[in-house]
A and B are shown apart, each in its own frame.
Chain A
Amino acid sequence: MCQVEEEYHGPLLREELPSVSRQCVKCKEASAAVVIRAGDAYCRGCFKEYFIHKFRAMLGKNRLIFPGEKVLLAVSGGPSSCSMLSQVQEGLSQNAHKKLRFLPGIVYIDEGGAVGQSVEHRRRTVEELRAVFRATGFPFLMVPLEQVLDLPSSVVLSAPGAPEQEAGAYKAAVDHFLLSDGSSGVTAGQQQETPPPEVQEAHTHSLQRLLGSARTLTAREELLNILRQHLLVHTARSAGYSKLMLGDSCTRLAVKLLSSISLGRGAQLAHDTGFSDSRYGDTILVRPMRDYSAKEIAYYNRMFSVPSVFTAGLDTKTADKSSIQHLTESFVIKLQADFPSTVSTIYRTSEKLQSCKGSASAEGDRCLLCVCALDTAAENASAFSATLISEQLSQTKSPGESRQAPEWTAPASQCCSIVGGELCGNRGGGCCSSAKASESPPLRSLLCYSCQLTIKDMSSEEVLPQYILSEAERRLRRSQLREEIRDFLLEDEADEG
């Protein structure tokens, strides 16, 4: 039997035949140089205008970046982030009313150590990118990923952000800016030629040990994403940038949306794929390239000679089925080839989501790794509690074990509160004792559902960087303390500490 229950959507469009017209649909004069969607053929000039307009429109529509604000562009060397860099340059060179008015800087995270590149290889890549960055005239930072090992614990805290801007604030700021020095050329300070920090071999080894402790490529990629993001946010914070621009394209975000769903990150989807991501509070992540498909970007870069530099990722040389992220990517790309509306349809879903309800103002309610609100409250009949129950039911129920339960008890795994008293005492040991036996290790209780999966795939939690471990310890101490004094608290207040 086909399991189709309520399936009645229109047939999805297959690839349409290329347009017969060879003329630009915009100016109807010049001959078309590029076909971006079926039927939409643009000449060189109109394509450039369309591309540039889209960037400004994305920023204009969202009104998030204020005039004069310092904005850090995260450039990986890939086509999408390099295209973003060229769009910012383009925007700054426009005439006054179309001009972008923020102060850009660039950051490059050198991940060569994580993927086992030689020192020489890494140096060459850095030099190549340095040349690209130098040509922009923007200040830039070259940061080796190894520096993530020395981050302070404050990175994983959501710092209080600027108070909600009122509706009129943006316009007022623009007006003010135009009155003052809006006409003069602006960058976020001078370009300084600081030599890239020396990377100690021992640090590279620690980083490799950390990533190597992940038994699956899926977990390794998640871990790398988290570390990279922490380092980016920290770099932005310490250099006084309040916005961090990421180069995720529409194609990239469609893949990310589906892989996030597959990784159990449904609650965090809006953060992971939205235009802006405020999980870190004071430093806001922005994705201005989200309207461009990877194909458009590739056309533009080639046509207007936007330089990019190839840098290998963790999964560059692996098979399709090696990680969830990689599997999802090849699935979406293949589907897109057959059904050209795939990427844009998935992407549109990301615009309709919001970060999960309920305030997570207190640090105790946020994931220690991804800094999103926790989604692990053991609600009745949820996939999360069902999984815990399955694990409990499949393990030895020896009566003695309940006494060995660790001091700290994870609120999520108390099976009696889940199933209600009537079932306890059923079949020998009963569910109470079995629940205690499989108490989740303390650190996991500080993580969201998906990050718990990542940690589960690691051979040891001890290899996590010190800033994460000490923050974990602090949070666990606090929750233990709160447990001790619980009887004296009048309300079950959120932890403000």
Chain B
Amino acid sequence: MPVLCSSCGDKRAVLKRPKTGHSLCKACFFWAFEEEVHQTIVTANLFKHGEIVGIAASGGKDSTVLAHVMKLLNERFNYGLELMLLSVDEGISGYRDDSLETVKRNQEQYELPLKIVSYEELYGWTMDAIVKQVGRKNNCTFCGVFRRQALDRGALMLKVDKICTGHNADDIAETVVMNVLRGDIARLRRCTAISTSSEGEGVVPRCKPLKYAYEKEIVLYAYFKKLDYFSTECIYSPNAYRGHARTFLKDLESVRPSSIMDIIHSGENLSVRDGVKMPVQGTCKRCGYISSQSLCKSCVLLEGLNRGLPKLGIGKHHRLHDKILNQQPLTEKEERKLKAVHF
């Protein structure tokens, strides 16, 4: 006997919502999913009428669904937003080439302008070249730091007011767990925020409209909407530690499906004791980007790459920042410590 949709009570249910366990028909699922994103946008005041919004598009499922839903809601509810796609080309052959093709198709399907910024043009390094120098162990560090700045630079070129990213509920819960495991209280406090206001020169405010959407529901939505997305994991796989956290989260979800939301709830309600030292945000003395040190992470990593000392940006070498800024040579001992370790 077919199960009836628990929402309309009329049509046949085609899926069980991972988030609530309800059985829904296709139309009711689409409506619920879109309505939830809409309510997130409205209650969190993510956008203002007339704003230019850049959608960070990678060609993956999250950003493809984000682009689709943003365009749809913008028209349905008359947000009055001017939407654009913003992509970063990390320079990973065989992976990014294909996913960028997907983004280009999305651009045509959604009729949205697209801007692609590449690591190569911004930093003079492709990820392929970086991995050649640093090995596979820490490459995600480079990629993460560079992408963050690349999006900002692209956003400035496009003159957008805001960037929205495809981070979903699973990503945020995972980040909460990661920050607990690292003991990073400052990030733990910030990481559940749905939006960041402009933190300084060159930093565009960001928001996460899919913050409360389950990854599984994003996949279901993309599947039933037959959205065109690219589903291969990055060939430079993320570090093992994050992998552990991800597995843990999946296990939690299988024991209690609401775990993802429960962890986000925890993150939203944490209260840091008064008097716990938090890093003070300043700006990078070289490029002006926000940084709690005299040099931003991106500049330190780049300096390390250019000098052939890739470990410079990994771990804490704040003491060396002044030397770098003043273009002083490093001692032999310092150099030796920062050379790549080959695996």
Q: Does B309 contact A (CB under 8 A)?
A: no
Q: Does B228 contact A (CB under 8 A)?
A: no
Q: Judge whether B182 and A394 touch: CB under 8 Å.
A: no
| Per-residue contact bits, chain B 232-272, to A (CB 8 Å; 1 contact, 0 not) | 01101111011010001001101110110111111111111
Given contacts A2-B234, A355-B271, contact A264 B7 (CB under 8 A): no
Q: Judge whether A266 and B43 touch: CB under 8 Å.
A: no
Q: Judge whether B44 and A349 touch: CB under 8 Å.
A: no
Q: Does B171 contact A (CB under 8 A)?
A: yes
Q: Judge whether B272 and A354 touch: CB under 8 Å.
A: yes
| Chain A residues whose CB sits within 8 angstroms of the CB of B183 once the complex forms | 345-346, 348-349
Nearest chain A CB to B305 CB, angstrom units? 14
Q: Which residue of B lies closest to A415 (CB)?
A: B39
Q: Judge whether B43 and A381 touch: CB under 8 Å.
A: yes
| Chain A residues whose CB sits within 8 angstroms of the CB of B36 once the complex forms | 386, 389-390, 393
Q: Judge whether B313 and A270 touch: CB under 8 Å.
A: no
| A60, B110: Cα distance in complex, Å | 66
Q: Does B297 contact A (CB under 8 A)?
A: yes
Say which one of A3-11, A32-40, A47-55, A229-237 lies at the interface with B: A3-11
Q: Does B129 contact A (CB under 8 A)?
A: no
Number of A-B contacts (CB under 8 A): 229
Nearest chain B CB to A123 CB, angstrom units? 35
| Chain A residues whose CB sits within 8 angstroms of the CB of B17 once the complex forms | 390, 394
| Chain A residues whose CB sits within 8 angstroms of the CB of B248 once the complex forms | 327-328, 331
Q: Does B58 contact A (CB under 8 A)?
A: yes
Say which one of B114-122, B139-147, B152-160, B323-331 lies at the interface with A: B139-147
Q: Does A321 contact B (CB under 8 A)?
A: yes
Say which one of B19-27, B67-75, B218-226 lies at the interface with A: B19-27
| A419, B268: Cα distance in complex, Å | 19
Q: How large is the interface on B (under 10, 10 to 19, 20 to 34, 35 or more residues)?
A: 35 or more
Say which one of B47-55, B173-181, B197-205 lies at the interface with A: B173-181
| Chain B residues whose CB sits within 8 angstroms of the CB of A260 once the complex forms | 266
| A420, B261: Cα distance in complex, Å | 23
Q: Does A93 contact B (CB under 8 A)?
A: no
Q: Does B316 contact A (CB under 8 A)?
A: yes
Q: Does B108 contact A (CB under 8 A)?
A: no
Q: Judge whether B241 and A266 touch: CB under 8 Å.
A: no
| Per-residue contact bits, chain A 353-373, to B (CB 8 Å; 1 contact, 0 not) | 111110000000000000000
| Chain A residues whose CB sits within 8 angstroms of the CB of B242 once the complex forms | 4, 7
Given contacts A11-B138, A384-B265, A394-B17, contact A1 B6 (CB under 8 A): no
Q: Does A283 contact B (CB under 8 A)?
A: no
Q: Does B332 contact A (CB under 8 A)?
A: no
Most buried by A among B148, B174, B238, B261: B261
| A216, B165: Cα distance in complex, Å | 36
Given contacts A270-B271, A327-B252, A450-B262, contact A423 B39 (CB under 8 A): yes
Q: Which residue of B lies closest to A2 (CB)?
A: B238
Most buried by A among B263, B265, B315: B265
Residues 48 to 94 of chain B near chain A (Cβ within 8 Å): 58, 60
Q: Judge whether A11 and B315 touch: CB under 8 Å.
A: yes
Given contacts A267-B270, A381-B44, contact A391 B184 (CB under 8 A): no
Q: Which of A10, A264, A348, A382 interacts with B315 by CB under 8 Å?
A: A10
Q: Which residue of B lies closest to A396 (CB)?
A: B9
| Per-residue contact bits, chain A 416-433, to B (CB 8 Å; 1 contact, 0 not) | 001110110001000000
| Chain B residues whose CB sits within 8 angstroms of the CB of A395 once the complex forms | 6-7, 22
Given contacts A266-B270, A394-B20, contact A8 B258 (CB under 8 A): no
| Per-residue contact bits, chain A 8-20, to B (CB 8 Å; 1 contact, 0 not) | 1111100000000
Given contacts A335-B244, A390-B32, contact A5 B20 (CB under 8 A): no
Q: Which residue of B lies closest to A434 (CB)?
A: B7
Q: Judge whether A346 and B19 touch: CB under 8 Å.
A: no
Q: Does A311 contact B (CB under 8 A)?
A: no
Q: Which residue of B lies closest to A3 (CB)?
A: B171
| A397, B182: Cα distance in complex, Å | 45
Q: Using a CB–CB distance below 8 Å, which chain A residues touch chain B?
A: 1-12, 216, 218, 257-258, 260-267, 269-270, 321-324, 327-328, 331, 335, 339, 342, 345-346, 348-349, 351-357, 375, 380-387, 389-391, 393-398, 418-420, 422-423, 427, 449-450, 453
**4 extra A-B contacts, CB within 8 A, seeds A10-B315, A269-B270, A349-B180:** A261-B180, A381-B40, A418-B39, A449-B269
Q: What are 11 A-B pairs at a CB distance below 8 A?
A: A4-B143, A8-B314, A9-B184, A216-B255, A265-B266, A331-B244, A353-B270, A381-B194, A382-B265, A422-B42, A450-B262
